[in-house]
Amino acid sequence: MDRLGVRKNAVKIEKDGIESGHGRETLSVACAVVVLQKLDTMPSEAELQAELERLRAENEALKKPARGQMSLKVSEKGALSVYGLGRFPVTLYREQWEKLLGMADSIRQFIKDNDSSLKKKE
């Protein structure tokens, strides 16, 4: 018996899979071959270092921006979301942002004209 407790002559390898020595069933060996290949080959130090650097870069990219800092993201539905203005993001589609940005001067003037009525969040 080998270290897995299987007699060495208990299985025979065929073209399509493994057949038990007792002729009970045929199994696919694709998964077993992949597992054995992974177990037999350890990554080199250079490969481990490269993977570590890749994970560090990914980690930095995923970190949230500092509190109070605004950031932009494309939503799952393809809209533009602005994070950092409040508790929830402000999300509009491209055409809506373009209309809103086209009114920037009007919005600034409205804020000036209504300064005494508008509350400031601090």
pLDDT in tens, 99-120: 999 999 999 999 999 999 999 8
Strand, coil or helix: 87: coil
User: How many domains does the structure of the chain reveal?
Assistant: 2
Considering the domain boundaries, does residue 5 fall inside one?
no
Considering the domain boundaries, does residue 21 fall inside one?
yes
Structural domain containing residue 50: 11-62
Q: What's the pLDDT at 31?
A: 47
pLDDT digits (tens, 9 = 90+) for 63-108: 766 667 888 999 999 999 999 888 899 999 999 999 999 999 999 9
Residue 111 token pair: 């804020």
Q: What's the pLDDT at 69?
A: 85
pTM: 0.46
Considering the domain boundaries, does residue 119 fall inside one?
no
The last residue of a domain, from among 62, 81, 98: 62
C-alpha to C-alpha distance for 12 and 22, rounded to whole angstroms: 10
Instruction: Work out the angle between the directed axes of helices 104-113 and 94-102 (0-180°, nearest 10).
Output: 50
- How far separated are the first and last CA of the chain, in Å rounded? 75
The last residue of a domain, from among 22, 44, 62: 62
Written as one letter, the residue type at 74 is: V
Burial class (CB in 10 A: 0-12, 13-18, 19+), 89: middle
